[in-house]
Amino acid sequence: MPTHTLPALPPVPRPPWRGLALLAAAVLLVHLALLALAPMAVGPHPSPLANKFITRTIVIAPPAPPPPAPPPEVAAAKPPAPTPPRPRPVARPPAPAPTPESPAAAEAPGPDPTAQPPVENGTASEPAPEAAAPAPAEGAPAAAANNGGGAGQAEAPVPQHIPGSVRLAFAATGQQGMAPMQGVFGNLVWLQDGQQYDAQLSLTFLFRTIRSQHSNGVIGASGIEPARFSDKRRNEVASHFMREQGTVVFSNNAPSVPLLPGAQDRLSVIIQLGALMAGDPARYPPGAAFAIQTVGARDADIWIFKVEQDEKLSLPAGEFGARKLTRNPRQPFDDKVELWLSPELGYLPVRIRQTQSNGDFADLQLRSVEPVRP
């Protein structure tokens, strides 16, 4: 079997840096040997402290703070301006005493601001309008002073003349619903003996009373003072004047109301108005007004009667001059009441007209006057 002989490989060349490394290692060994033998060749043994590493701590001082700024210069305070001296008053020589010939003797002293207003005829003059006290509201209790009853003030009683006992007969016309009122007669009977009174107003149709109002009480210093008032149609309802308690009580259990001075009922108010006008007719010219608490059988209210112009009436009883008073409604269901009071009969009513809110009305016109004994 033939034998294959591999060819000889060429020698691998050594890198050049290998000799350098060997050289460097030899040099390093020589230096180490010299360093090891150096202490043995130099004199005595060194101090043990010679080979120690000595360190020092250096403390750095903080920088010095900057010097404080100099304080600002304070402005020099200016001295206050000198106050000019006040001029001294010039002394005047005393004025000579006035003589009768001197004009100063005729001069009157100035008005005294604290002086009271002058009094004329026993009554202080009225203040200016802006200084006057406000008038009481309509319907206030003080308004009842106009009827002569006063309002708790110490005033002289209002002049009045209570009429004597009399019977007034009326012819009645009117409207009730769709049917006119015909054949109805009215009678007002007023009785008084100077201390007590009794009044009754009735409407009759075919000798049958269809409605009646009754008032009784006393006659006092303030005039007519009712004690009881009743109104009867089918049933009777009444109001009672409880003067000791100062209230008005109603028989239909309606809430009681305060009793004001000079209060009247719906019948006695007619006679009381005539008594006031008969007492001093000039006190109540056209445009004047009466404010009176007027009590009905179920309620009470302040009635304001305004005095209107005089009228000339032609009635079944004849011709009469009369002064008209009107009470206009203030509430939605109030009645309008118109009265004609004749000075020829001592201001007794010669015509009475009452209009309801639904338009129904009754108009009573005088047809006869008859004095009666109480």
- What domains, with CATH codes, occur in the chain? 158-371 (2.40.360)
Amino acid identity, residue 105? A
User: How much is the pLDDT for 24?
Assistant: 74
- % of the chain with per-residue pLDDT over 70: 60
- % of the chain with per-residue pLDDT over 90: 49
Distance CA(206)–CA(185), nearest Å, equals 9
Contact 184, 203 (CB under 8 A): yes
User: How much is the pLDDT for 28?
Assistant: 74
Query: Which of 223-232, 327-336, 341-350 has the lowest average pLDDT?
Result: 327-336
Contact 296, 239 (CB under 8 A): yes
Which one is predicted more confidently, 26 or 372?
Answer: 372
Query: Which of 68-82, 89-103, 176-190, 331-345 has the lowest average pLDDT?
Result: 89-103
pLDDT at 274 over 80: yes
Tokens of 250: 């109603």
pLDDT at 340 over 90: yes
User: Among the ranges 12-16, 146-150, 354-358, which has the highest mean pLDDT value?
Assistant: 354-358
Arithmetic mean of pLDDT, 151-172? 82
Which one is predicted more confidently, 336 or 104?
Answer: 336
Query: Phi and psi of 190, rounded to 5°?
Result: -120, 120
pLDDT at 34 over 70: no
pLDDT-derived band at 120 (thresholds 50, 70, 90) equals very low
Average pLDDT, the chain: 75
Tokens of 237: 């309802």
pLDDT at 121 over 80: no
Arithmetic mean of pLDDT, 218-222? 92
Neighbouring C-beta atoms of residue 92, cutoff 10 Å: 6
Distance CA(264)–CA(223), nearest Å, equals 10
pLDDT-derived band at 256 (thresholds 50, 70, 90) equals very high
pLDDT, tens only, 167-183:
999 999 988 888 788 88
Which one is predicted more confidently, 57 or 23?
Answer: 23
User: How much is the pLDDT for 245?
Assistant: 95
Distance CA(45)–CA(61), nearest Å, equals 42
pLDDT at 265 over 70: yes
Which one is predicted more confidently, 77 or 174?
Answer: 174
User: How much is the pLDDT for 65?
Assistant: 58
Query: Which of 24-28, 32-36, 136-140 has the lowest average pLDDT?
Result: 136-140
Which one is predicted more confidently, 58 or 202?
Answer: 202
Considering the entire predicted model, what is its pTM? Answer: 0.60
